[in-house]
Amino acid sequence: AMYFRRGWIKVEILRKIPSRIHPDIDPVAGLTFEKSDLLKGDTLDQVVTWKGNSDISGCGEILVIRVRMFQAKLFAYRV
């Protein structure tokens, strides 16, 4: 569930789980904050997309989801 006033959420994917999350770790090509479509609105089921694409099947089974938010709350997510 997500709740926004005038805010937004962006998502990027990392392939490896680092020993500690650091902003310099490179995301998966094409699944970056820069290509992430903004999530907006008050909704219970919104799909994350990058330039309209939601396919993360090429990332493998273990991945890290990095989230950037502005004036928003993220209550839950599922992969």
Looking at residue 48, what is its pLDDT?
95
For the CA atoms of 60, 58, 10, 76, what is the dihedral angle to 10 degrees?
-50
Q: How far is CA 13 from the centre of its chain?
A: 7
Looking at residue 76, what is its pLDDT?
85
Compute the distance between CA of residue 9 and CA of residue 64 in angstroms, rounded to an integer.
Answer: 16
Give per-residue pLDDT as tens, 17-72. 766 766 677 899 999 999 999 998 888 888 999 999 999 998 888 888 999 999 88
Residues in Cβ contact with 5 at an 8 Å cutoff, skipping those fewer than 6 apart? 71, 72
Give per-residue pLDDT as tens, 5-21. 678 999 999 887 766 76
CB 75 within 8 A of CB 3: yes
- AA letter at 66: R
